[in-house]
Amino acid sequence: MIKLYGGARSRASIVQWYLEELQVPYEFQLLDMKVGEHLQPDFLKINPFGKVPAIDDDGLTIWESGAILLYLAEKYDNLTDLPEKAIAYQWVLFANSTLATGLFVAETREKEAPKLLAGLNKLLESRTYIAGDRLTVSDIAVGTILGYAVMMLQMSYADYPAIDSYTKRIGDRAAYKKAILGIS
């Protein structure tokens, strides 16, 4: 069974959301990061940088949330077609680099966030999910960053109605509620 290493309110929730969506059995290994369990030798063997999330899937250890998401997509979500894979890589990298930086780096937020949100809003006016008409790994990556911005920065999408509906749509999913909001 997959072991998912995470801390309370950590980016492990992103991976947990996807595992819940995929209905893949997993065990959540909660590290007490306040006392530095993520910096102990046992965990440093899994991720030498002492950061969560990380997974152990039958002896294969992977860290970095985007890499874990893409691994899960290929193994459990039938992501095999090269063009579809390229689109998934695009969105996962966009979420963890361009979007996360654009929304979370205070110094550049004012300049970057409106451009990024306007582009996403336009795209979501014509599709239900990020990569088309079904929820994919791209939604897990982009959706969590959009959700975290609301939770951590009190960001409002009132000026971006398609993003607003999208975040409500994903926020209504049982797997999202359990993993991201901690509501079972």
Q: Could you say which of 4, 77, 88, 96 contacts ligand GSH (CB under 6 A)?
A: 96
Q: How far apart are CA 144 and CA 142, in angstroms?
A: 6
53 near ligand GSH (CB under 6 A): yes
> How many residues interact with ligand GSH (rule CB under 6 A)?
11
13 near ligand GSH (CB under 6 A): no
64 near ligand GSH (CB under 6 A): yes
Look at residues 58, 54, 51, 57 and name the one whose alpha carbon lies nearest to residue 33: 51
Q: Could you say which of 10, 16, 138, 144 contacts ligand GSH (CB under 6 A)?
A: 10
Look at residues 109, 122, 152, 135 and name the one whose alpha carbon lies nearest to residue 21: 135
Per-residue contact string for residues 21-40; x = within reach of ligand GSH by CB under 6 A: -----------------x--
Q: Given the complex with ligand GSH, which of 104 and 165 has the nearer CB atom?
A: 104
Q: Given the complex with ligand GSH, which of 52 and 87 has the nearer CB atom?
A: 52
Cross-strand pairs, 55: 4, 62
180 near ligand GSH (CB under 6 A): no
Give me the least distance between CB of 43 and ligand GSH, in Å please. Answer: 10
First to last CA, the chain: 21
Q: Could you say which of 2, 21, 46, 51 contacts ligand GSH (CB under 6 A)?
A: 51
Look at residues 42, 2, 43, 38 and name the one whose alpha carbon lies nearest to residue 19: 2
CA quadruple 63, 136, 120, 91: dihedral sign:
positive
Up-side HSE of residue 25: CA atoms within 13 Å toward CB?
Answer: 2
Enter the tokens of residue 30.
């909660």
Site for ligand GSH, rule CB under 6 A:
7, 10-11, 38, 50-53, 64-65, 96
